[in-house]
Amino acid sequence: MVSVERLGAEHADELLRFERENRAYFARVIPDRGDEYFAEFAERHAALLAMQDAGTDHFHVLVDDGRIVGRVNLVDIKDGSAELGYRIAESAAGRGLATWAVREVVSTPYGLRQITARTTVDNVASQKVLARVGFTRTGEVELSGKPGYSYVLPIDPVDKLAHQGAASG
Ligand SMILES: CC(C)(COP(=O)(O)OP(=O)(O)OC[C@H]1O[C@@H](n2cnc3c(N)ncnc32)[C@H](O)[C@@H]1OP(=O)(O)O)[C@@H](O)C(=O)NCCC(=O)NCCS
């Protein structure tokens, strides 16, 4: 069974394996991370955890029987808004995992007002995920020189109130 876990120090080795194994697969649709990312992985992982502790980002990994099969992140949190990013291992693609995991993450009560996302015009799988989760297209953008779309998902304040009530009660 797959679970969504908040990124921790214990995920470092497995996350590196996931990124290495899927590097060429991801690079077919999104910009490659570059050799430096892999060379400086440990430092970068520590930096991500520090950002998470500071509250500017929420990082998540999808774990299936001890193996990381995907990640879903909320980054650049500012004024109640966060940007969504996600990637699923080639071996786990097409099973509805991205749709399920993105739904889980966007419904986590992080106190956000809205979540934004962007994807290239040719990334139909990603567009399907965003549409199914309830994102609406807001415009056209350029992503690393490629045409893309921007999206937004308003977060229902009722959820936040319910959470605050539960937390204080
Ligand atoms: C986009 C991505 C996250 C989707 O992950 P996933 O777990 O396979 O997604 P889901 O199974 O929830 O849904 C994907 C849908 O797109 C469809 N799909 C997949 N590839 C497709 C393609 N090339 N063209 C059209 N539809 C496609 C799937 O069939 C599925 O639709 P269906 O359920 O109606 O059959 C994954 O492909 C990925 O990690 N890609 C590389 C990184 C990336 O693009 N990240 C997003 C950046 S914005």
Q: Which amino acid is at 107?
A: S
Our answer on whether the CB atom of 129 is closer than 6 Å to any ligand 1 atom is: yes
Measured from the Cα of 99, ligand 1's closest atom is 12
CB 151 within 8 A of CB 125: no
Q: How far is the CA of 167 from the centre of ligand 1 (A)?
A: 35
Q: CB of 75 closer than 6 A to ligand 1?
A: no
Confidence (pLDDT) at 85: 98
Top mutation candidate among 64, 84, 123, 126 for ligand 1, by most atoms within 8 Å of CB = 126
In whole angstroms, give the CA distance from residue 146 to residue 135: 21
Taking the domains of the chain in order of start, what are their residue ranges?
2-168
Confidence (pLDDT) at 159: 52
Return the CATH superfamily for domain 2-168: Gcn5-related N-acetyltransferase (GNAT) (3.40.630.30)
**∠77-43-91 over CA atoms, to 5°?**
75
Please report the pLDDT score of residue 157 as a whole number.
74
Cα of 94 from ligand 1 centre, angstroms: 6
pLDDT of residue 97: 98
Contact criterion met (CB below 8 Å) for 139 and 151: no
pTM of the model: 0.93
- pLDDT of the residue at 156: 83
Show the low-confidence residues of the chain (pLDDT under 70): 158-169
Q: How far is residue 153's CA from residue 114's CA, in Å, rounded to a whole number?
A: 6
CA–CA dist 90, 96 (Å, integer): 13
Identity of residue 8: G
Ligand 1: which residue has its CA nearest to atom 34?
A: 128
